[in-house]
Chain A
Amino acid sequence: MSASTIVHPAGQGTDADGVLEVRDLAKHFPKGDQDLVALREFSITVRPGQFLVLLGRSGCGKSTLLNLMAGLTRPTSGQILYRGTALSGPSTEIGYLTQHDTLMPWRDVTRNVEMPRELRGEGKRSRREEAQRLIELVGLGGFEHHFPRELSGGMRRRASLARMLAADPETLLLDEPFGALDAQLRTELQGELLRLWQGTGRTVVFVTHDIEEALLLADRVVVLGPVGSVLLDVDVDLQRPRDPDEVRVDPRFVALHKSLSVALKEGAR
């Protein structure tokens, strides 16, 4: 049928149907009488249930891409299909954890976490219960009535994570979520993220500039170069669960680390 060839242009029709399909995406930011190109001709297909890590140095358009995928900004050209339909704005099926905390400073942890359900019009009682469950889940029990200002960076991340999960999204977009945390805390939260993801069938798109983090978490790593060019696209075939201390000496890990590192360096030239 000719219709199907339109939906799946040559070169992408071979992929299994993705949750997220990004096609020829470009994003320009007007600046004076020039355009700043953040992303150019970017295409990717994210398969359902996949943990995809986008690896790239800062300024390669990673955050721009996630903003587009979340529906917060509109692309200059190209399109993003979510489950086959073009994305036209934010959707509650897609959860987005931004790099910086966006908890409402005037709401305590509980009221922040329950907010997605509050906006959905859910009753107070059931959304409180769900918020409580999620707060326990991310390990913030006992801090329900603390305000964001009174929490440490790691605890705010946990609260943000809980708030994102409260909307019950099928797809999670995470933009360097643990970038600002110390190494121990980062390892701990990475473990918890994997625990939250495994067995749920959720699709995750995780952005980072940290090769080890990418290899610890990912099913598949895509290395991005300048303006969103794909430098490398590899499947990570390391056994799960990956112990952060043991996996580092795994020869396969070392080999992958090397090739990712080489790809990143190439992109810098």
Chain B
Amino acid sequence: MSAATTTDAGTAGPGSAGPLQVRTARGFREKHGRRATVWAWRAGLLVALVAVWQVLSGPVLDPQYVSSPQGIWERLAGWIADGTLWTNTWITIQEIVLGFLLGAGAGAVLAYLIAPIRVVWTILDPYVMALYAIPKVALAPLFIVWFGIGTDMKVLLAAVSVFFLVFINTAAGVHQVDSALVDAVRLMNGSRRDVALKVVLPASMTGLLTGLRVSIPYALIGAVIGELVASNRGLGFLISDSSAKFDTDGVFATLLVLSVIAMVLNGLVGLIDARTSRWKPLDT
């Protein structure tokens, strides 16, 4: 029994119907017990997987095909020592960030310009959907012709992937604005500008944030695909280069780095999520 409830800090709402705010003291187990268990299991699972992989690789499985944790580790150490890893990772990160900023910026701005004008949106809608549906990999050859095989091409490929997701989600957010809220501002004699800034903008923020959230991984995908298709630098290049040399250790090492980047990006998504839920509208 480590839980203790103190009622002295309670404050009642107006009338007797208001909720009561009570301070409670909980022990570590109650507060973090579940989280701790989950993390312990996660760590345990990882260790077990790596151990099994290491043991099986060699006697049972051909390291030429499945590599081994030790091989990956040695390759990573080598790459870190000669700077290969950091140079290529840095290039990929730059492409992701630039592509994301470019695509998200353009998507949000265009959505706010076009979506409020219902007619224009209705006219453009099928074309937007058609372009959105194109697998962005299919654009890579064209982008090579247009922009060459430098980083520009990867940045733009990432940007295009991000653009549509942000654009469509922001537009949906704009369209889902509760018309009763718009009416409320009209009743206050608000101008069109007031409606745009004090209702549509904050109300559509959920849509924009959803767009940002779902598009973050696509920035990574766009950049790496660009590098896989044609490049001489970046993590995508490391993968294709290693595999061309039949260097499975190198391929797995690069994949490991990519998943670390993906996890970091996922953490950013989590931050955005926490922000989004604060904006959640009323359920009535």
Contact = CB atoms under 8 A, between A and B. Distances in A.
A and B are interacting partners? yes
B189 A102 contact: no
Contacts of B180: 98, 100, 102
A167 B190 CA distance: 12
A140 B183 contact: no
Interface in A84-135: 89-92, 95-96, 98, 100-106, 115-116, 119-120
Nearest to A147: B278
A236 to B, nearest CB: 27
A72 B280 contact: no
A53 B179 CA distance: 27
A115 B13 contact: no
A184 B17 contact: yes
Contact of A104 (B13, B199, B284): B199
A139 B188 contact: no
Q: How large is the interface on A (under 10, 10 to 19, 20 to 34, 35 or more residues)?
A: 35 or more
Interface in B119-163: none
Nearest to A94: B187
A119 B194 contact: yes
Given A70-B187, A91-B189, A119-B194, A105 B13 contact: no
B200 to A, nearest CB: 12
Contacts of A116: 188
B14 A155 contact: yes
B18 interface: yes
A171 to B, nearest CB: 12
Interface in B247-284: 279-282, 284
Contacts of A184: 17
A161 B38 CA distance: 47
B17 to A, nearest CB: 6
A140 B17 contact: no
B15 A104 contact: no
A163 B35 CA distance: 43
A119 B185 contact: yes
B84 to A, nearest CB: 48
Contacts of B205: 106
Interface SS of A by simple majority: loop
A52 B193 CA distance: 35
B279 A106 contact: yes
B64 interface: no
B48 to A, nearest CB: 43
A102 B15 contact: no
Which of B11, B198, B205 has the largest count of A CB atoms less than 10 A from its CB?
A: B198
Given A105-B279, A106-B279, A152 B186 contact: no
Interface string A31-53: 00000000000000000000000
Given A143-B13, A154-B15, A149 B280 contact: yes
Contacts of B27: none
B19 A72 contact: no
A11 interface: no
A154 B188 CA distance: 22
A115 B145 CA distance: 54
B187 A90 contact: yes
Interface string A70-83: 10100000000000
Contacts of B187: 70, 72, 90, 95-96
B189 A90 contact: yes
Contacts of B186: 72, 89-90
B91 interface: no
A148 interface: yes
A62 interface: no
Nearest to B180: A102
Given A92-B189, A100-B284, A105-B279, A158 B14 contact: yes
B109 interface: no
Contact of A102 (B183, B202, B279): B183
A188 interface: yes
A106 B202 contact: yes
Contacts of A115: 185, 188, 198
B22 interface: no
B198 A104 contact: yes
A185 B11 contact: no
Contacts of B194: 119
A201 interface: no
A152 B282 contact: no
Contacts of A101: 282, 284
Given A90-B187, A106-B203, 7 more contacts: A90-B186, A90-B189, A92-B189, A101-B282, A106-B205, A142-B11, A154-B17
Interface of A: 70, 72, 89-92, 95-96, 98, 100-106, 115-116, 119-120, 139-143, 148-149, 152, 154-155, 158, 167, 182, 184-185, 188
7 contacts: A89-B186, A91-B189, A102-B183, A105-B280, A105-B282, A119-B190, A148-B282
Listed from nearest, the 7 A-B pairs whose CB atoms lie closest are A102-B184, A139-B14, A116-B188, A105-B281, A106-B202, A102-B180, A119-B190
